[in-house]
Amino acid sequence: MPTIYEQLRADIIARMKARDTAAMLALRTADASIQRAAMDANKPIDDGLVVATLRKGVKNLADAKVEFEKGGRADLVAANDAEILLLEKYLPKGLDPARLEALIGEVILETAAQSKKDMGKVIGALKKRPEAASIDFSAASKVIQAKLP
């Protein structure tokens, strides 16, 4: 089974052959950001690096989409939606909200977190869990804030 990065590279070639320029451009941009992240970290490209880079790209696109909506640019909103959908295909499925809440509850008990000042401990412990790759930490942060006084 190919890695996420190998699949992305194969999809770039397929989009080139199909002359799907919008998707090809989005995938090439993602490829370039992955290669840049690997060079910056001075480590080889692996699935963890690819997922982290793609998540960052999706977050940036979502932030830009909000600004485009405020500016009334429906064309750019639609383009960002399409690009987000394209990149999310390469990301692992996130934890369902019930499982995320249960996991956060376990970690809060493990770390003996008492208040919002202990959020760093809880998030640090979450990042060490095997499920860390499928956790959306922005959603996790909101759940943690709701659980801690």
User: Over the stretch 32-84, which tens digit does the pLDDT of each residue have?
Assistant: 999 999 999 898 888 888 888 898 898 899 889 889 888 888 888 888 889 98
Per the structure block, which two tokens stand in for 49? 């690096």
Question: Which pLDDT value is given to residue 19?
Answer: 93
Indicate the residue among 88, 118, 139 that finishes a domain: 88
- Tell me the pLDDT tens digit for each residue of 76-110: 888 888 998 899 888 877 777 788 788 888 888 78
Which domain does 112 fall in, by range? 97-147
pLDDT of residue 16: 93
Q: In the structure encoding, which two tokens stand for residue 102, read together?
A: 């249960």
Q: Residues 107-122: what's their mean pLDDT?
A: 78
* Domain tally, the chain: 2
> Rounded to an integer, what distance in angstroms lies between the CA atom of residue 82 and that of residue 63?
14
Q: Say yes or no: 8 and 46 in one domain.
A: yes
Which 8-state DSSP code applies to residue 90? T
Helix, strand or coil, per DSSP, at residue 43? coil
Separation CA 25–CA 97 (nearest Å): 33
